[in-house]
Every structure is written in structure tokens, then in C-alpha cells.
Structure 1
Amino acid sequence: MSAPLPRAWLAFLAASTLSQLGSTVLWFALGWAAASHGGQVAALVLTASGLPRLLLVLVGGSVADRVGARRLLLVTESVMVTVCLALASGLHATGPTPWLLAAAGLASGIVSAFSLPALGSMPRRLVDDAALPRALALRQSLGQTVLLVGAPLGGLLVATVGLPAIAVADAAGFAVVLLVLAVIRPRRDVGPGAEPLWRSLSDGARVVARTRGLAVALVLTGAVAAVVLPVSSLLVPLLGRASGWSAGTTGLVVAAQAAGSIGATLVVARTGTARRTGRAVALGLAVAAGGVGLVASVGAPVLVAGAAVVVGVGTGVAVAHLAPFVLGSAPRTHLARVQAWTALAQLAPVVVSNNLLGALAERVSAGAALGCCAVVLGLCALAATRLRSASS
């Protein structure tokens, strides 16, 4: 039987998941408010949040490795408590004006550029290497659960308690993370570094390039993200509209994909990962490719939902093996910097693929765009068989 995960990790995971739920609910609510001002304002709010995260995430990873992930998170979570309370005050005073929403997005995007790499590195700072795959799989399953329930909960709370109360609740979630961080002591946190920031940035790129298997894994991560993330966020809604489904039916299809991923990652969290990482990732991606192909072709909503479960299971298996491969390959001195490169590998390709796939869906069909995603996933499955770690 596998040894239980450390209490420090479980406490941190519980607190960070609660905070993630609060943020998911808040950003659904803010997105809903932004949409009331029109598409341009909604796009402005998304850009204000996403662009600084994309531009600054590598800097955030370098800072986390220099000063220590826990120390940086104490600062970023404190700032987010202040941001959420200021947002609640502004919403109460003026309502959800476009500039207030954009300012909240900008502040959140800047802070998250520094917190994301630190948060991503915490599992290896709190968990032994042997238990790392199970810890990451558990985190992934909880994250998928948050995504599954966040939007419906956000819609309910917007109608019942209002935006200011949601912002205050999100501030409380960040405060809970602060309380846990004040108690835990990561065993493998890194002390202050003396090297200049620019050298720290270039050193992170050098480590990614020279660590066996790491660059390939990050390229694979980006390619998978580029064709998996748009399936539920973009292409399934477009397919639903083209097919005449209701919003509820489309939401159930998206939820089915999340449910499949949750189930797969919970199994990995209990049993651990396979010994041959490359083959396991390849198998998961091949299953996901088949599922996406079925989503594009089966037609009936019930069958599409079943195919979406297959997509979720495949991606869940693949990510549950790929994530510990990436984090486990990183030198302990570069954990946050590698996580920053991982975040960049996921964020940048999706910006491009969303536009390309959206254009293809508009000019041809959503099914054609889904078919392209299935083909790319199949190619990624072939590439995954070549994954080799530095210890192989």
C-alpha cells in the first residue's frame, strides 16, 4: 500500500484548491459583468489579465527560485487579499464599470505571473519524489473539479449574493492560503540567490535546453495544450450552436470531459504512475485523439457526451504522467523557473490555436476544427513514445 501523502502538502492543497474555487467563481462573475458592456470590453478584461501573465511568468519563476517559493507566495497572496477587498469596495461604490473590471484583471494578471511558478513548484518542495506523481494527480483531479463546479456556482452566486460579496469571499480564500503558508515549512525551499535577475532568466532557459527530456516534454506540453484546451472552451460550444443544442446540453458535454479527467487522475492518485512514462503519455494521448474524433463525428448529444468522457480520460492519463515527468526532471535549484517555462508553454500556443481553430470552425465547421485537433493529438502520441528522463 502507498504511504499517505504528507500533511503539509494536503493542508496546502486544500487551501489552494479553496482559493482556486473562489477565483474561478469571481472570474466567471466578472466575465459575466464584462459581457454586459459588449464584446470589446469582455475582450479587454481578458487581455488585461492574460497579457501580463504571459509576459512576466518567466520573471516570476526566477524570483521564486531566488527568494523561495513560500516567501514569494506570502507576498502574492497578501497582495491578492488587498486586490479583492479593493475590488469589492469599488463594486459596491460604482458597480462593475469597464475600467474597474480591466484594472482588476491587470492586477490579477501581474500577481499571478509571480504566484503561478511558485505554486507549481510547491509539490516537489513538500512531497518526496516517490509520492510526487500521486500528489500531482490529486491536485489535477481537484483542479478539474473546481473547473466543473466553478461556473455553475458563479452563476448562482451572481444571482443571489452579488459581485461584492463574491470578491470578499475570494479574499477570504487567499487569506486561508496565507494561514497555511505561515505554518508549513517546505523542506526543499531555496534561499536567496546572489546572481542578477537577467542571469537567472538565462540560466532557466539553459537548464530547460540541457536537461535530458525536459525540452521535449515542454514542447509536447505546449502542443497538447494548443489542441486540448480549445476543445471544451471553444469548439464544443461552437459545435453545440451549429447542432442546435441548448446551453444546458452543451454544458453537460463540457462537464463530461471534466468528469472523465477527474476519474482518470483520481485512479493515478491512488495507484501511482506507470513505470514507462512515455508509453503511458502516448496511450493517453491516443485515447484522447480517438475521443476528439468521435466528438467531431457522432452527432447525437448523448454520444458526444460519451466521447467527451473518453477525451477526459485520455488527457487525464497523459497529464497525470507528463506533469510529474516535467517537475521531477527539474533541478531542485530551478523548480519555479521550470514551472514558469511550463506555464509559458501552455499559455502561448493556446493564444495562437484559439484564433486558428476559431477561424477554421467559422469558415468550414467546428467538426473540421475538432478533426484537426484529433490529428495533432495523434502526432503528439507518436512523439510521446520518445520521452526519456535524465535518469533513463
Structure 2
Amino acid sequence: MASQLDTDSPASTRPALPRTYLVWLAGTRASLLGDAAMYFALGWAASAHGGVLAALVLTAINLPRTVLLLLGGAVGDRFGARRVMIVGDSVMFTAALLLAIVSFRLGTPSWLLVVVAVVIGTVDAFYLPATGSMPRRLVGKEHLPRALAMRQAGGQIASLLGAPLGGVLVAAAGLSGVAVVDAGTFAVVLVVLVCVRPAFDVERSSREESLLAGVVDGVRLAVKDPVLRPALLLTAAAAGFLLPVVSLLNPLLAREHGWGAGAAALVAGGQSVGMVVVSLVVTRRGAMSRIGTGAAVGLCGAALGIAAVAIAPVTGVAVAGGIVVGAGSGMFACHIGPLVLTSIPETHLSRMQALLTLVQSLALLGANNVLGVLADAETATIAATVCAVMVCGAGIVGLASKPLRRLHRG
């Protein structure tokens, strides 16, 4: 993998990423760790009320997030990503403190869990597009691949540690304790955002344009642009047929082969390790010079890993396949992110991040249900094989796309 990366200059001579970006990244990763712990705690509390309420809590997060995402992107481009993030963190800091107080006094009634979930989903709809556009505002285009790779590695590590942290906190202090910790992480991000200002001036969208017109204009740009259009399609393919392999099909494959939960956990851990390692390599060495090709190659590599997981005769082969899946996923993410951010007009940064998130959410929602039905009707092996074929096909389409293949980093 390292031999494919751009090595025009030794890593030791590469300029360090801006300190403002590193401070912002540390704050947001701390907040992400708190959020991961909170998601675990909410799920655990909801499960005590039964499966229906647990599903309702998840829906209460995902529904407003999905419905309001494009509007959130338009708001970020109109009023500025940093301002939107400050408002969002302030709302979540207040909500987390109120949750801590109410849950300490009343426990975890169902209405409280649903209300908190709605607040989280609504804030996410505005916050995610804004935070997704911040790297472009804090670092130069030439540093974006390394900056985004570091962001991805940090996010993956926070996600890995979040659930165990949530379990420990729930056991020690209940939902109210988790809420206090989460509020603390939001306070950290608020301080960081107040102190850190974007180093690069980014033009905002016109105030004469309505927010609805801004939403439509963002979609129109993505559909017409020769680079953004295939990039969005590849992102949808990755979300629909790559992400479900570990979250949905991996446990089904383990049960199908009679391996047990431990083997499924090892495969999932291998996927995380592969993603983190590739992200750190890109952080250190930089991305491929042909950044569109790098994204497509990542999908092709992930397809090989999915095939290995699908047909693995023993646990060791499945774990190795999971590592390859993670490495391919990391390769794709480390190239598609900067590819999109450097191809977007400055007036559309948040809107395109919103569209990327929406495309992933919708693709994942549809694919999870289809693949689940296919696994029940046939086998999990067949469902995973379909994923391998589709991801490989998407990678080949990316390699065949002239706008992507000819696109150089920066």
C-alpha cells in the first residue's frame, strides 16, 4: 500500500499541519468519544423498555438528521460553519446537562430518551455539514489528504473506545454520569471553537438567495459537475455495499459458520485496524498524486477483502479479510474526502458535505434491508458475495471515469 502513495518528498521534510487544525481536531475527537459513549448509554437505557422503544430512539435520531441535512448544509454556507458549530455545541451542552439532571431525578422514562434522540438528530443535521467543511477552512488544499486522514484515524479510534467507555460509565454512574461526561466534551469543543478561527477565507453563499434555493443549487451542482457526480455515486456504492459487511453481514457469517461472537468481534477489530493503519500512513506520507485513482483502487482492494470474509474457511482467513476490507475502506475514504473538498466551490462546502452524508445514509438504509432479506432468503455468504461484486464494480467504474482518473491531488 505504501508503495502506491505519493512520495515526492520524504515525510520528514513535509510541513507540519497547522496548529489551529490540530487543536480543532483534538477537541472534536474528544467530543466524538463522548458522543459514542452517549449513544451506547441511550441504546442501553432504551433496551430496558423493549425492542420497540429501542428502534424508536434510533429512528428519532436518524429521521430528523436525514430530513434536515440539506437545509443544514445551506445554513452552514450562509452563516458560516464555525458559527453553526458554536450554536450546535451550545445546544448539546445544555441538553446534556438537562439530561443529567432529569435522569438523576426521574431515571430513564421513555419520553426522555425519545426527546433527547430528537435533539441529537436535529443538531446533527446542521452540525455534520459544518464540521465536515472545517478542514478546508483550516488547512490549505495541498494538506487536505493528510489532514483528513488524521481526522479519520482519530474518529475511528474514538468510535472504538466510545462503546467500552459508555459501558464503564453506565455501570458506574448510570445515564446521568454519561451525560455529565458528554457535556464536558461539548464544553471543550466550545472553548476550542471560540479560540480557533479559520485560517483561510471562504466565500459564503449569497444572502439574497433563499435557503431552499440554496439547497436546490447544491443538488444541481452535484448532478452536473463531472467530478462530483461520479464521486457521489462511488460514495453511495461504498455506503450501500461496503459498510454493511462488518456491521450487518459479519455477525451473520459468524453464526453461519458456527464461529461465535468472539470471531465476529475479531473480524470487526481487523477492519478497524486496517482502516487506522492506512489512515496513519496517508497522514505520514500523503495521498496518491492521482487522487481519483486512489479512491477507486481502495474500493477494488476492499472488494477482495469482502470476498475473503465471505468464503473464509476458518476464522483466521476472515480476520485477514477484515483487515483488507478496512485497508481498502481507509484508502477510499482518505482519497474521496479531499477529492470532494477540493472540487467544491467555496460557496458550497457545507451543502456538499450534507449531500455526501445524505447519500451515504439513504444508501445504507436501503442496502441494510435488502441485504438482510437476501441473507435470510439465501445465505449470508451469498449476500456478502453480492457486496464484493458491487464494490469491485464501483471501483472499476471509478477507474474508467476519465474525470476521476485524470484528477491530480491539489
Q: CA RMSD in A?
A: 1.5
SS in 2 for 1:5: coil
1:185 matched residue in structure 2: 197
Does the 8 Å CA contact 1:278/1:387 hold for their aligned counterparts?
no
Give 1:1-392 correspondences, 5 Å limit: 1-186=13-198, 187-191=200-204, 193-194=206-207, 195-385=209-399, 386=401, 388=403
Does the 8 Å CA contact 2:239/2:364 hold for their aligned counterparts?
yes
Change (3 A) 1:299 1:87: farther
SS in 2 for 1:37: coil
Q: Deviations over 1:166-197 (max 9, x none)?
A: 11111111111110110111122445741211
Gaps of 5+ in 1: none
Does the 8 Å CA contact 2:231/2:340 hold for their aligned counterparts?
yes
TM-score, scaled to structure 2: 0.92
Change (3 A) 1:278 1:189: closer
SS in 2 for 1:212: coil
Moved more, 303-312 or 245-254: 245-254
TM-fit CA distance, 1:161:
2.6
SS in 2 for 1:185: coil
CA distance in 2, matches of 1:5, 1:259: 24
Does the 8 Å CA contact 1:67/1:193 hold for their aligned counterparts?
no
Moved more, 97-106 or 2-11: 97-106
Change (3 A) 1:89 1:177: same
Q: Deviations over 1:37-61 (max 9, x none)?
A: 2211111000000011111000000
Q: Deviations over 1:358-380 (max 9, x none)?
A: 11112212111111110111101
TM-fit CA distance, 1:282:
2.2
Moved more, 67-76 or 95-104: 95-104
Counterpart AA for 2:157: T
Does the 8 Å CA contact 1:45/1:105 hold for their aligned counterparts?
yes
TM-fit CA distance, 1:391:
6.7
Does the 8 Å CA contact 1:286/1:378 hold for their aligned counterparts?
yes
Does the 8 Å CA contact 1:211/1:329 hold for their aligned counterparts?
no
Does the 8 Å CA contact 2:292/2:407 hold for their aligned counterparts?
no
Counterpart AA for 2:56: L
CA distance in 2, matches of 1:98, 1:190: 44
Change (3 A) 1:315 1:192: closer
Does the 8 Å CA contact 1:57/1:114 hold for their aligned counterparts?
yes
Gaps of 5+ in 2: 1-12
TM-fit CA distance, 1:86:
1.4
CA distance in 1, matches of 2:370, 2:307: 18
Q: Deviations over 1:337-372 (max 9, x none)?
A: 111111111111111001011111122121111111
Does the 8 Å CA contact 1:217/1:387 hold for their aligned counterparts?
no
Counterpart AA for 2:232: L
Does the 8 Å CA contact 1:68/1:190 hold for their aligned counterparts?
no
CA distance in 2, matches of 1:101, 1:360: 33
Counterpart AA for 2:21: W
Does the 8 Å CA contact 1:213/1:387 hold for their aligned counterparts?
no
TM-fit CA distance, 1:241:
2.7
CA distance in 1, matches of 2:119, 2:154: 26
SS in 1 for 2:83: helix
Counterpart AA for 1:321: H
How many residues get paired? 392
TM-score, scaled to structure 1: 0.96
Does the 8 Å CA contact 1:222/1:345 hold for their aligned counterparts?
yes
Moved more, 87-96 or 350-359: 87-96
Q: Deviations over 1:80-136 (max 9, x none)?
A: 001111111221122222221111111100000000000000000000000001000
